[in-house]
Amino acid sequence: MTGGAGGRASLPPGPYLVVDAAVCAAVGRRPADLAAAAVRSGVRTVQVRAKHVGVRELVDLTVAVTDAVRLAGPALVLVDDRVDVALAARARGAGVDGVHLGQSDLEAGDARALLGPGALIGVSAARPQDVRAVDPAVVDYIGTGPVRLTRTKPEAAVAAGFDGLGEAARTSVLPVVAIGGLGLDDVPAVRRAGARGLAVVSAICAAADPARAARMLVEAWQQQPSGMSGPSRAGVA
């Protein structure tokens, strides 16, 4: 993985798996098993997300997923929203790489101060003013969406669409990840929009064969040419 600002690891291109505890529970699968299967199939970024569990359970979940990923292959593990959970998991010896923060979570600068210069930090930014407000000296990538409204993001009122995704990719000097209601058929449009990654939940977690679904996403991404580039994205691997 190539280095980002200040020597930090940069976000790998391609499918980005959000292991959502609620979606996994609904289909009777363990998040750690799903994460490991996806990484063995070529996914290189895994985010742990559990909106409706207690903090102790979320720490246990994060440790389990991180340990499974480390055995499965090279991939980054991020925690959704919770810097405290990332720190607690690290204290237990889990190799958590960073966090993904929403607009109402801890400020990115505070997260950087707590997690250190080597952590990978992503933020959600859908509106143009939010994208412009992200500090590239602190943040490593932007998650833009939802491209489509989805049940896993019920708080979102308006879909950004592929036009909004493309605008974010053109505006930001940071890599942009498409989020929200996406799957295999969306890979060409996401790449044309200039995104570095495509975040998925159900497309892998709820698939009949998660490992095959992950592998198909990875292969589809690799087969598609990239699209528009942002103002200083040249040379980003």
Domain CATH code at residue 111: 3.20.20.70
- Does residue 149 lie in a domain region? yes
Note the Cα 106 to chain centre separation in Å.
17
- Does residue 160 lie in a domain region? yes
- Does residue 236 lie in a domain region? no
Q: Is 229 annotated as a binding residue?
A: no
pLDDT confidence bin for 236, thresholds 50/70/90: very low
Residues 6+ away with beta carbon under 8 Å from 91: none
- Does residue 230 lie in a domain region? no
Q: Is 50 annotated as a binding residue?
A: yes
The torsion defined by the Cα of 174, 136, 139 and 116, in degrees rounded to 10, comes to 140
Count of positions (residues) in the chain? 237
Q: Is 33 annotated as a binding residue?
A: no
Residue 7 pLDDT:
64
Chain segment 46-67, per-residue pLDDT in tens:
999 999 999 999 999 999 999 9
Q: Is 8 annotated as a binding residue?
A: no
Q: Is 28 annotated as a binding residue?
A: no
Provide the token pair at 22.
């609620």
Chain segment 62-99, per-residue pLDDT in tens:
999 999 999 999 999 999 999 999 999 999 999 999 99
Q: Is 122 annotated as a binding residue?
A: no
The torsion defined by the Cα of 121, 10, 178 and 195, in degrees rounded to 10, comes to 140
Residue 74 pLDDT:
96
Per DSSP bridges, beta strands 176-178 and 141-144 are: parallel
Q: Is 48 annotated as a binding residue?
A: yes
Q: Is 46 annotated as a binding residue?
A: no
- Does residue 182 lie in a domain region? yes
Contact criterion met (CB below 8 Å) for 149 and 159: yes
- Does residue 1 lie in a domain region? no
Write out the E strands in the chain: 14-20, 45-49, 76-80, 98-101, 120-124, 141-144, 176-178, 197-200
pTM (two decimals):
0.91
Average pLDDT, the chain: 91
Q: Is 81 annotated as a binding residue?
A: yes
Q: Is 201 annotated as a binding residue?
A: yes
Domain coverage including residue 64:
9-223
Task: Count up the domains in the chain and report the number.
Answer: 1
**Cβ neighbours, 10 Å, residue 203:** 23
* DSSP 8-state assignment for residue 152: T
Per DSSP bridges, beta strands 176-178 and 14-20 are: unpaired
Question: What are 17's strand-pairing partners?
Answer: 46, 200
Residue 40 pLDDT:
98
Pick the closest to residue 230 from 168, 142, 161, 160 (CA basis): 168
- Does residue 44 lie in a domain region? yes
User: Which amino acid, one-letter code, is at 37?
Assistant: A
- Does residue 27 lie in a domain region? yes
Provide the token pair at 101.
């923060």
Provide the token pair at 227.
């699209």
Q: Is 168 exposed, middle or buried (0-12, 13-18, 19+ CB in 10 A)?
A: buried
SS3 188: helix
Residue 157 pLDDT:
55
Q: Is 232 annotated as a binding residue?
A: no
Q: Is 224 annotated as a binding residue?
A: no
